[in-house]
Structure 1
Amino acid sequence: MRAVISTAALALGLSACAAVPADGPATAAIESAAPTAMSEEDAVIADLVSRMSLERKIAQLIQPQINSFTPEDMERYRFGSYLNGGNGGPYGDEFAPASEWLRYADEMYDASVRPLPNGEPVIPTMWGTDAVHGHTNVVGATIFPHNIGLGATGDADLVRRIGHATAIEIEVTGIDWNFSPTVAVAQDDRWGRTYESYSEDPDIVARMGAALVEGLQGNPQADDFLGTGRVIATAKHFFGDGGTEQGVDQGDVNGDIDELLAVHGRPYPAAIDAGVESVMASFNSINGRKMHGNEMLLTDVLRGQMGFDGLVVGDWNGHGQVQGCTVTDCPQSLLAGLDIYMVPDDWRGLMENLIAQVNDGTIPMARVDEAVTRVLRVKYRAGILGADAARPSERGVGGQFALLGSPQHRALAREAVAASQVILTNDGILPLAPGMDVLVAGSAADDIGQASGGWTLEWQGGLEGEMGRSAGIADAIFPGATSIWDGLEMAVTTGGGTATLSEDGSFTTRPDVAVVVFGERPYAEFAGDRPDMAFRDEEGLNLLRGFREQGIPTVAVFLSGRPMWMNREMNAANAFVASWLPGSEGAGVADILTGAVQATGRLSFSWPNDCIGRPLNQAEGALFAVGYGLSTRETGNRGELGESCSLLEERDGADLFTSGRLATGVNAYAAGGALTIADDVLIQMRGSSSPAGVTMRGIDRNAQEDAREIAMQPGARFGIRQDGTGSGGYRIAYRVEERPAGPVTLIVGDGDTATRLDVTMQFQNAAGKGWREMVISEECAPGLGQRIEFATGSQLTFAISSITREELPEGTACSF
């Protein structure tokens, strides 16, 4: 329940000593109101703001990530909030148990409320996280379907219940604030965040987004609003993120502002009516102007026209993209209406500059007070601020770890999975008859990581498959979860049939039917941007065609974060199911395939009829329109579909590492001493190998964590290896941080045929000179091979933002 606290009690509870009269300024909002008209909420907050120093006020507007500061920094600076990034965890461990998340929350809270001198009030901090489909940064949490699947359910009450379950699991670990829901109205499925959108229809998005807000926070008219089992919600990203040109993440949205608001602004009034306390500004531009600096939209529209009275938080260094700004110097964002800067790593420089800009008059004190008031108001409403406020472990359901991934929450997720499945074609093979011999094929069938998609334990997701699905790995990182194969095995055997898992489709006993599970590899944000809708991974297609040639009926189960051109696969399958990204409860898929649950899922996005990729929006050219979907025993297809797609032709070159993501079949490793390549694989070029002396972390070059910093100790080796038969030279974008004191060797190729290049001088010359490019060709590394490796004889720190292979003109020289 929202705390109700008197001004006197609050002063006694939050001051280092008895409250004293203040000489500091009040907020502009409070100055404009007569004292007798103040609500209890306003009076409490005005008193606090009046007694805060400028340094403490600015700290309320700064949000660093947990990897870049310490509890000592929290005690010194008193940040108003902090976050864990998609790859961040407590004490540097992104796979830490829930108890460590809660311990960290307590530690930061304690540091934020230690007494301050001169009667200055202490303001508890709050922790924000991206729990976008369940509390999925934490091992053991329930993983719900992504928004695109929830949109297909058409069930706002189901989404509301999911929001409440997610809020409970978040509060268990001591976190206060969820950066969710995404209420983007995706208009171009090439966009890498399409799966974060409920629908291309703004009315569906508005209804579902408001429901999730209510689930997370509670109904604003109810007694439990922001009480036990509830957390602060965030509607994001304001606004237009789903309407960028050609679906490019963080791109430009162009058009008449009223027409844009009618589509992309539509969900925000619904979220505001539902009581949302936070709105996140978008990375994108509107008609060429970045949202983080757009006063007309952040202030005049969001607050003036829509009536939002909560806080506006920035996205990851988004203020640094405003014209004339850097990450550490951007008064424009605060003046435009931003209340909290999300500045993951460079918080110190930004704080210093903001303080200086207030002192020199660049930023009016009234604007600072207004932003601080908004932050404190949200804390007050959430019960974080007040005499009755408590440590995270002592409030609500904090520390009740049995609620994390509880049977009730998993049952809810299974219900959501079943409701989200959309049967697109069916010749009568579905539902699978009891007693059938079912073969389950495809590498995704037993891969919970692939079924869960991005924002699952790691920002880009995909952990289980990348870890090779070795014995016990699923139990370690997805305890209690059920893969699609697990669900099918249970359902089929319960029905008197037999089920066999065969990733490659081979068998000794001919099955009655084959279920082929395949789809997109996980991704998040810009890493998922695509130039078209062609699906180039032919594993599923080859399996379906192989079974058809043998006369074995097939059911295609397609895992994806968006509709894609599937004509070939639909032609080859007897039934085709759009499964989206169902998450941790694969039994929900089996419920639909076996007919245990009636299929009610309906498309919330148009399905393309060609592979080109362009906004369809229910226009002519869609193979299936919004609202389409077959019921359990309903048959239907579109006849033989055209399979021509010129975009499937092979392109020259290949990206091995780009946009912060290793390509499929490419592995990064660390080695040193007796270690071998297989001993220390570094998933997605992140993490630490202490025995090898190699540490990698994500850094920003052009976008969030699109590059890697690699720190190597003397004797360490780091490399990448391709599976298969890649060809061509290597082109690597790199930056050397400090001049290496010892030898640096680049090893190209495999085994005895590998070429060893002394690049010490080149690395020494490159130190401190920013981003550069090295080209490794046949001229200096004959044969090239499938591996490149860096070895150092001294401490070495350098960064890589991309690695590509391409056919270079004959005679191309190597260069650094």
Structure 2
Amino acid sequence: MNAIDRESTMSRAGEAKEEEEEEYLVYRNPSEPVEARVSDLLSRMSLREKLGQMTQIDRSVADSAAIRDLCIGSVLNGGGSDGDAMNRASAADWADMIDAFQNSALQSRLGIPIVYAVDAVHGHSNVYGATIFPHHVALGATRDPDLVRRIGVATALEVRATGVHGNFAPCVAVCRDPRWGRSYESFSEDTEIVRKMTSMVTGLQGSPPIGHPDGYPFVAGRKNVFGCAKHFVGDGGTHEGKNEGNTISSYHDLERIHLLPYLDCLSQGVCTVMASYSSWNGSQLHSHKILLTDVLKDKLNFKGFVITDWEGIDRLSHPHGSNYRDCISATINAGVDMVMVPFRYKQFLEHLMHLVESGEIPMSRINDAVERILRVKFIAGVFEHPLTDRSLLDTVGCKMHRELAREAVRKSLVLLKNGKDPKKPFLPLDRNARKILVAGGHADDLGYQCGGWTISWQGSSGRITIGTTILDAIKGTVGGKTQVVHEPSPSPATLADEDLSFAIVVVGEAPYAESHGDNAELKIPFNGTELINSITERIPTLAILISGRPLVLEPEMLEKVDAFVAAWLPGTEGKGITDVVFGDYDFEGLLPVTWFKTVDQLPINAGHEPYDPLFPLGFGLRYNM
């Protein structure tokens, strides 16, 4: 009798025993130590149930039979569930859907709940009407770890309100090249700034009192979600900023620049770590045993679980890429515990079963993976609180969270220029001016304002959710007698209007995510530079740039414009911008990245020699200096 048969026989014997008598189930008792509960439940599981726990599937293919009968461990929705009805679904609709999945899991033989996970990377950005906070690059500009922690708290509430248990955040990549399509997901090019901003982990997961009985820094309950430090490791340092590219460095530099933020996440008890699509010196991270097991699990003593990125196994190239089964073996043996399949889970489970039966993946590796997954589920309180707390639904997009997002926008704005003459500042603007021109396609586009990972994976233009555009905010800020003229591309007649007091021109990038955002030129799209130049020739002008990274600022344009503000990707609360440019608050933001002069300088980071940027890391003007 082989190991699989023995386990199956033992499982059937266990079932019979449970039918004959009321057995005390340690794993069901929340007063028992976490490790005792893990051990007890693991001893009762069949191999098929263990492998199911290691599998994460997309909600579009998740049916009750698969979840119940295969003991699927986790469900997610990819990229905002692009292109279907959930893009406009209410928070209650999301809760109904996720609770239905959970009820299927609770009907399984052992009643092991699923964890549902989302990419709530700047608020609960999958859900229509949720609060959308500025992206990470903007938060890095605030240099305010407590603000980031509070954003984590607010995000956890809105996420948990819809029945979600886990959040694939924060991204703690150290972005060393703005050509990278995920630049805005990084807090900074500076490792120490990124380290401080890992406070989001505590915000998401909670900060329990000293002396927590099991020693796990996580507040289990209905108001917290488990976080995920990603993407392990070095994804912000790839050659020429290529997404899913190759980071070429010594181990010393990998550790010094890219690994240190993970130490801070681990110290805060982050429950999961996501492997990176990228490679380190040519070896792909999804199958990198030294980094995933020897470093992360053994050296750093990480006790949570490692998860792949979306279809991470499918992305493995030579020598594994031609054979899906070999890719599975390489990934699991390297130390990955849960696999984001997300669609062909039946094929994945079939291959995984054969790999274990053949001994190519040892049972010890399977048991280790499932122990880690169960540990997180127990620590996070999913067994005790598997279903949605509907009393939290009112937190989704609530006024308090929107005010927090507005504060984040205010603190993130970086003033790069204020007046052609240093003795004559152009800002703050006069809210009682006679007539104001508002120009640029980004002035009244909420989708552009929010960027990627908002409702859909890539993001999109238009009124994609509930929020306040910059134009809305301007109209709500100016005096009752002030006329606001909005023309995305002003006509010559408008520009010749002598009654115009000044112009606010809002330009920037279209939304993007991941490889779609890789950009070697980094010019302001939509003829943004030309638009600014055409207006500054006639009218005193404030230019506001909406972008996930520094873009090329032509010297002629920068010379002509009266004031220039980097607003990053501010999210739904445009009033945070008018709060500052009209003088209710001072500028506080400092550049989280180096602003290059030309793309030929890239990569350029503080500490490099020579270092001749347009604006250095940490630059930012104030009204009161």
Verify same fold: TM over 0.5: yes
Distance 1:295 1:439 in 2: 58
**Matched residue SS, 2:196:** helix
Matched letter for residue 370 of structure 1: D
TM-aligned CA deviation for residue 497 of structure 1: 3.5
In the alignment, which residue of structure 2 is the partner of 1:432? 429
Among residues 118, 131, 152, which one is paired with 1:142 in the alignment? 131
CA contact (8 A) 1:90 1:101 kept: no
**Matched residue SS, 1:424:** strand
Report the CA distance shift for 1:201/1:360 in structure 2 as closer, same or farther (over 3 A).
Answer: same
Report the CA distance shift for 1:18/1:629 in structure 2 as closer, same or farther (over 3 A).
Answer: farther
TM-aligned CA deviation for residue 16 of structure 1: 8.1
In the alignment, which residue of structure 2 is the partner of 1:522? 511
In the alignment, which residue of structure 2 is the partner of 1:421? 413
Question: Residues 217-228 of structure 1: matches in 2 within 5 Å?
Answer: 217-221=205-209, 225-228=219-222
**Matched residue SS, 1:93:** helix
In the alignment, which residue of structure 2 is the partner of 1:563? 550
TM-aligned CA deviation for residue 327 of structure 1: 4.6
Confirm whether residue 80 of structure 1 aligns to residue 73 of structure 2.
yes
In the alignment, which residue of structure 1 is the partner of 2:622? 631
Q: Give the unaligned 5+ runs of structure 1.
A: 1-10, 23-38, 465-473, 635-816
TM-aligned CA deviation for residue 448 of structure 1: 0.6
Confirm whether residue 176 of structure 1 aligns to residue 176 of structure 2.
no
Distance 1:17 1:408 in 2: 54
Distance 1:445 1:76 in 2: 51
**Matched residue SS, 1:265:** helix
Matched letter for residue 621 of structure 1: D
Deviations 1:653-687 (A, max 9, x none): xxxxxxxxxxxxxxxxxxxxxxxxxxxxxxxxxxx
**Matched residue SS, 1:584:** coil
Among residues 256, 269, 273, which one is paired with 1:275 in the alignment? 269
Matched letter for residue 632 of structure 1: Y
TM-aligned CA deviation for residue 74 of structure 1: 1.2
Report the CA distance shift for 1:526/1:18 in structure 2 as closer, same or farther (over 3 A).
Answer: farther
Confirm whether residue 341 of structure 1 aligns to residue 331 of structure 2.
no
In the alignment, which residue of structure 1 is the partner of 2:387? 392
Distance 2:401 2:521 in 1: 37
In the alignment, which residue of structure 1 is the partner of 2:9? none
Distance 1:89 1:124 in 2: 26
Among residues 254, 258, 266, which one is paired with 1:264 in the alignment? 258
TM-aligned CA deviation for residue 226 of structure 1: 3.4
**Matched residue SS, 2:88:** coil
In the alignment, which residue of structure 1 is the partner of 2:320? 324
In the alignment, which residue of structure 2 is the partner of 1:99? 92
Please give the root-mean-square deviation of Cα atoms over the aligned residues, in Å.
2.2
Matched letter for residue 411 of structure 2: A
TM-aligned CA deviation for residue 90 of structure 1: 11
Among residues 464, 467, 475, which one is paired with 1:489 in the alignment? 475
In the alignment, which residue of structure 2 is the partner of 1:621? 612
Matched letter for residue 523 of structure 1: Y
Confirm whether residue 611 of structure 1 aligns to residue 611 of structure 2.
no
TM-aligned CA deviation for residue 537 of structure 1: 3.1
Confirm whether residue 553 of structure 1 aligns to residue 530 of structure 2.
no
Distance 1:158 1:365 in 2: 44
Question: Residues 737-756 of structure 1: matches in 2 within 5 Å?
Answer: none
Question: Residues 698-717 of structure 1: matches in 2 within 5 Å?
Answer: none
In the alignment, which residue of structure 2 is the partner of 1:309? 303
Matched letter for residue 371 of structure 2: T
Distance 1:273 1:432 in 2: 45
TM-aligned CA deviation for residue 541 of structure 1: 2.2
CA contact (8 A) 1:98 1:173 kept: yes
Question: Residues 159-174 of structure 1: matches in 2 within 5 Å?
Answer: 159-174=148-163
Report the CA distance shift for 1:569/1:64 in structure 2 as closer, same or farther (over 3 A).
Answer: farther
Deviations 1:307-343 (A, max 9, x none): 2111111101112233314455511111111000111
Distance 2:337 2:623 in 1: 49
Report the CA distance shift for 1:279/1:19 in structure 2 as closer, same or farther (over 3 A).
Answer: farther
Distance 1:244 1:19 in 2: 57
In the alignment, which residue of structure 1 is the partner of 2:587? 599
CA contact (8 A) 1:89 1:101 kept: no
More helix by share: 2
Question: Residues 650-689 of structure 1: matches in 2 within 5 Å?
Answer: none
Distance 1:613 1:526 in 2: 21
**Matched residue SS, 2:164:** coil
Deviations 1:336-395 (A, max 9, x none): 11000111111111101111111111111111011000000000001112xxx24422x4
Distance 1:463 1:515 in 2: 20
Question: Residues 435-474 of structure 1: matches in 2 within 5 Å?
Answer: 435-436=432-433, 437-464=435-462, 474=463
CA contact (8 A) 1:188 1:616 kept: yes
Distance 2:470 2:431 in 1: 18
Among residues 534, 555, 559, which one is paired with 2:523 in the alignment? 534
Confirm whether residue 112 of structure 1 aligns to residue 97 of structure 2.
no
Distance 2:352 2:21 in 1: 30
After TM superposition, the structure 1 stretch with the greater mean CA deviation from structure 2, 577-586 or 504-513, is 504-513
In the alignment, which residue of structure 2 is the partner of 1:741? none
TM-aligned CA deviation for residue 632 of structure 1: 2.6
Confirm whether residue 230 of structure 1 aligns to residue 224 of structure 2.
yes
In the alignment, which residue of structure 2 is the partner of 1:795? none
Among residues 484, 489, 501, which one is paired with 1:499 in the alignment? 484
After TM superposition, the structure 1 stretch with the greater mean CA deviation from structure 2, 122-131 or 328-337, is 328-337
CA contact (8 A) 1:142 1:413 kept: yes
CA contact (8 A) 2:205 2:224 kept: yes
Report the CA distance shift for 1:19/1:276 in structure 2 as closer, same or farther (over 3 A).
Answer: farther
Matched letter for residue 66 of structure 1: R
TM-aligned CA deviation for residue 491 of structure 1: 1.3
Matched letter for residue 380 of structure 1: F
Matched letter for residue 622 of structure 2: S
CA contact (8 A) 1:192 1:525 kept: yes
Distance 2:174 2:365 in 1: 31
Among residues 22, 40, 55, which one is paired with 2:33 in the alignment? 40
Question: Residues 715-794 of structure 1: matches in 2 within 5 Å?
Answer: none
Q: Give the unaligned 5+ runs of structure 2.
A: 1-13, 26-31, 213-217, 420-424
TM-aligned CA deviation for residue 73 of structure 1: 1.8
Among residues 123, 134, 143, which one is paired with 1:154 in the alignment? 143
Confirm whether residue 297 of structure 1 aligns to residue 291 of structure 2.
yes
CA contact (8 A) 1:534 1:565 kept: yes
More strand by share: 1
Distance 2:340 2:108 in 1: 26
Report the CA distance shift for 1:122/1:434 in structure 2 as closer, same or farther (over 3 A).
Answer: closer
Among residues 187, 190, 203, which one is paired with 1:198 in the alignment? 187
Report 1 or 2 for greater relative contact order, CA contacts < 8 Å, sequence distance ≥ 6. 2
Give the TM-score taking structure 1 as reference length.
0.69
**Matched residue SS, 1:612:** helix
CA contact (8 A) 1:217 1:233 kept: yes
In the alignment, which residue of structure 1 is the partner of 2:11? none
**Matched residue SS, 2:273:** strand
Matched letter for residue 605 of structure 1: V
Distance 2:75 2:83 in 1: 12
Report the CA distance shift for 1:319/1:240 in structure 2 as closer, same or farther (over 3 A).
Answer: same
CA contact (8 A) 1:513 1:553 kept: yes
In the alignment, which residue of structure 1 is the partner of 2:60? 67
